Amino acid sequence: MAETLTAAEALTVPADREPLIAKVRWSVTSWRLTAAMWTRAQMSYRTSFVLTSLGNLLITSLDFAVLVLMFRHTDRLGGWTLPEIGLLYGTSGFALGAADLLVGSVDSLGQRIRSGDLDVLLLRPAPALALVCAERFALRRLGRPVQSLLVLGWSMQALALAWTLPRLLLLAGMLVCGTVIFSALFVGGATLQFWWGEAKEFQNSFTYGGATLLHYPPSVFAKELVAGVTFGLPLAFVNWLPTLRLLHRPDPLGLPTAFQYASPLAAALCVLAAGFAWRAGLRAYRSTGS
Amino acid sequence: MAGSAGLYLAIARGSFRRYSTYRAATVAGAFTNTVFGFILAAGFLALWRTRPHLGGYDTGQAVTYIWVSQALLVAVAAWGGGFQDDLQERFRNGDIAIDLQRPVDFLGWWLAGDLGRAGFQLLTRGAVPLTVGVLACHARLPHSLLTWPVFLLSVLLSLLVSFGLRFLISISSFWLLDSEGLRALMVVVSMFMSGMLLPLTLFPQGLRQLAQALPWAALIQAPCDVFLERGSRVPGELGAQLLWAVVLFAAGRAAQALAVRKVVVQGG
């Protein structure tokens, strides 16, 4: 707990000596108010909102539809069954989707820097990161986490697995830590745009690309890649490693069991790194003057 | 006639140049397409390892299918976009009224621009992933030299079909005021029915026939099959591409004629 709080502190630029709790609460409130404003704004085109939400739900379902179609031709992919892969799909989709809903707007940072909008946000009496994350908040992004949870629910009952309390805790931990890891990737990736204004697409390769990677079991990929997303970008902690524990499957890298429980630590480190990157980015920021 | 051809060429060239100014973004995009190529190819490989020759593709063809489809994704705008973004903005701020009064054909103007954009993206976000796929993943290049011009023709037709579909959606803004929702639904159909995510031959019977009969198959499935030299399928697929291009253009023209009579200008 202490670790997460320090990390949260790193996210706000400490201009004064307010107590930490108050600062975090202020960030959350700023985020909530901005998000609520954008939600109201989008509701003025109600038909479009309903259609885009529906479209979002469907488009995120396509990935799973493809997996289902693949399993019409085989009963195992990389040695894993469809319900087992459903577990991977549900957890990675939820983590990405929830992170995208909460902080996904941060990826338009480069656009804000170019247009000078960021200056406006920095002048407001609220934490800039909270504002950048909530600007253009889009409730329609709820589609992905909802759809992922549906798949997760299906695979949980399709697996012949007793859902004991420790297993449920591991699963819940996966959803929370996964969301935190992807959120940190969104924020950390977006800070690249302080230096490289057009890095937005680059970031997609490890957020959306990462989630797609995690839909498949690690056995499908080369060992070097699996090692890369364990020790480099810690995507393996989103769902691969804890799922190996849940399903009693051997780890292709042969890592100690402790790794399969280490997602909270990985998530905390990610937040810390993203926080430092954000502060460094803000410090390097020079307004375009427009 | 020659004068207007020169004009459209100038529009296309301008659009090509406009996209080529975003160099860093293009590099980032090509990188992303390549990363997705690696991930999806690994998934396909796992499937074809258990079922070689699935859907009439051998393992090499299946992996190549992924790299070719990634190479086409942005150029044929399977996600939508391209001129749609600009056009939508013009609906929102009322500039659309100016467009309709230009002494240039409305549809032709946007088509030329979109072809310029697609040309640039084919050369960058198309060539990069395909080259990486060939070098690093044993993607299969066409065995016959003659396949290349046929492939380019098929890509051109898929660009025309893609434009035709997106034009109809955009122009629906004349009636709907905001085509965002329709566009979102169209992305779903387009991604699935174009064969972008999975070759259509892997679909279950009824769905496969439906997908093959719809215009979206012209976007990805047809050029991929040409590239993979799936001989017997090629003439039929090229024919269908051409047919859809003609039908969609006729529909676009008709919609444009109706729209001009009905103009509702927003804002201003």
> What's the token pair of residue B241?
């591409």
pLDDT at B222 over 70: yes
Q: How high does pLDDT run on average in chain B?
A: 91
Residues of chain B with C-beta less than 8 angstroms from the C-beta of A70: 43, 47, 198, 202
- Report if residue B264 sits inside a domain: no
CB contact, 8 Å: A197 with chain B?
A: yes
Q: CA of B254, closest CA in chain A: separation in Å?
A: 25
CB contact, 8 Å: A46 with chain B?
A: no
> What's the token pair of residue A279?
């502060």
CB contact, 8 Å: B21 with chain A?
A: no
pLDDT at A2: 42
B76 with B126: CB under 8 angstroms?
Answer: no
> What's the token pair of residue B219?
């976007």
Is the CB of B28 less than 8 angstroms away from the CB of A200? yes
> What's the token pair of residue A25?
């609460």
pLDDT at B268: 45
pLDDT at A3: 43
Could you tell me the residue range of the domain that residue B181 belongs to?
2-259
Residue A7's pLDDT band (boundaries 50, 70, 90)?
very low
pLDDT in tens, B115-168: 999 999 999 999 999 999 999 998 999 999 999 999 999 999 999 999 999 999
A222 with B38: CB under 8 angstroms?
Answer: no
Q: CA of A97, closest CA in chain B: separation in Å?
A: 17
Instruction: State the amino acid at position B232 in one-letter form.
Output: S
Closest alpha carbon within chain B to A207: B32
What is the model's pTM?
0.90
Closest alpha carbon within chain B to A202: B28
Between A49, A62, A205, which is nearest B32 by CB? A205
Q: CA of A20, closest CA in chain B: separation in Å?
A: 37
Residue A4's pLDDT band (boundaries 50, 70, 90)?
very low
Residues of A (116-135) whose Cβ lies below 8 Å from B: none
Is the CB of A220 less than 8 angstroms away from the CB of B42? yes
- Report if residue B267 sits inside a domain: no
Task: Identify which of B71, B84, B75, B91 has the alpha carbon closest to the alpha carbon of residue B165.
Answer: B84
Instruction: State the amino acid at position A223 in one-letter form.
Output: K
CB contact, 8 Å: B185 with chain A?
A: yes
For chain A, give percent helix, strand, coil, nearest 5: 75, 0, 20
Per the structure, the count of domains in chain B is 1
| 3-state SS class at A162 | coil
Task: Identify which of B37, B71, B65 has the alpha carbon closest to the alpha carbon of residue B227.
Answer: B65
pLDDT at A146 over 80: yes
**What mean pLDDT do residues A247-256 have?**
92
Task: Identify which of A236, A188, A192, A189 has the alpha carbon closest to the alpha carbon of residue A210.
Answer: A236
Percent of chain A with pLDDT over 70: 93
> What's the token pair of residue B10?
């100038």
pLDDT at A155: 97
Cβ partners under 8 Å of residue B232, min gap 6? none
Interatomic CA distance for residues A197 and A288, integer angstroms: 12
Lowest-confidence segment of A214-223, B81-90, B136-145 by average pLDDT: B81-90
Residues of chain B with C-beta less than 8 angstroms from the C-beta of A196: 24
- Report if residue B268 sits inside a domain: no
Lowest-confidence segment of A244-258, B90-104, B143-157 by average pLDDT: B90-104
Residue B243's pLDDT band (boundaries 50, 70, 90)?
very high
**What mean pLDDT do residues A82-95 have?**
97
pLDDT in tens, A151-205: 999 999 999 899 999 999 999 999 999 999 999 999 999 999 998 888 888 889 9
CB contact, 8 Å: A290 with chain B?
A: no
- Report if residue B266 sits inside a domain: no
Radius of gyration of chain A (CA): 20
B37 with B67: CB under 8 angstroms?
Answer: yes
Is the CB of A47 less than 8 angstroms away from the CB of B181? yes
Could you give the ipTM of this predicted complex? 0.89
> What's the token pair of residue B203?
């679909």
Cα atoms in the Cβ-side hemisphere of radius 13 Å centred on B247: 10
pLDDT at A48 over 50: yes
Interatomic CA distance for residues A63 and B197, integer angstroms: 8
Residues of chain A with C-beta less than 8 angstroms from the C-beta of B180: 45, 48, 51-52
pLDDT at A241: 96
Residue B90's pLDDT band (boundaries 50, 70, 90)?
confident
| 3-state SS class at A77 | strand
Q: CA of A6, closest CA in chain B: separation in Å?
A: 33
Closest alpha carbon within chain B to A64: B197
pLDDT at B104: 86
CB contact, 8 Å: A195 with chain B?
A: no
- Report if residue B265 sits inside a domain: no
Interatomic CA distance for residues B149 and B227, integer angstroms: 10
Q: Which residues pair with A80 in a beta bridge?
A: A77
Is the CB of A55 less than 8 angstroms away from the CB of B187? yes
pLDDT at B1: 55
Is the CB of A202 less than 8 angstroms away from the CB of B28? yes
Between B51, B178, B192, which is nearest A45 by CB? B178
- At residue A32, φ and ψ (nearest 5 deg) are -65, -45
Question: What is the number of other CB atoms lying within 10 angstroms of the CB of residue A149?
Answer: 17
- If you write DSSP's letter for every residue of B78-99 in order, what string do you get? TT--THHHHHHHHHHHSTHHHH
Residue B169's pLDDT band (boundaries 50, 70, 90)?
very high
- If you write DSSP's letter for every residue of A3-17 in order, what string do you get? HHHHHHHHHS---S-
Residues of chain A with C-beta less than 8 angstroms from the C-beta of B38: 225
CB contact, 8 Å: B28 with chain A?
A: yes
pLDDT at B22 over 90: no
Residues of chain A with C-beta less than 8 angstroms from the C-beta of B184: 51-52, 54-56, 59
CB contact, 8 Å: A72 with chain B?
A: yes
Q: CA of A44, closest CA in chain B: separation in Å?
A: 11
Between B28, B47, B181, which is nearest A198 by CB? B28
Secondary structure of B199-218 in HEC code, one letter for each residue: CHHHCCHHHHHHHHHCHHHH
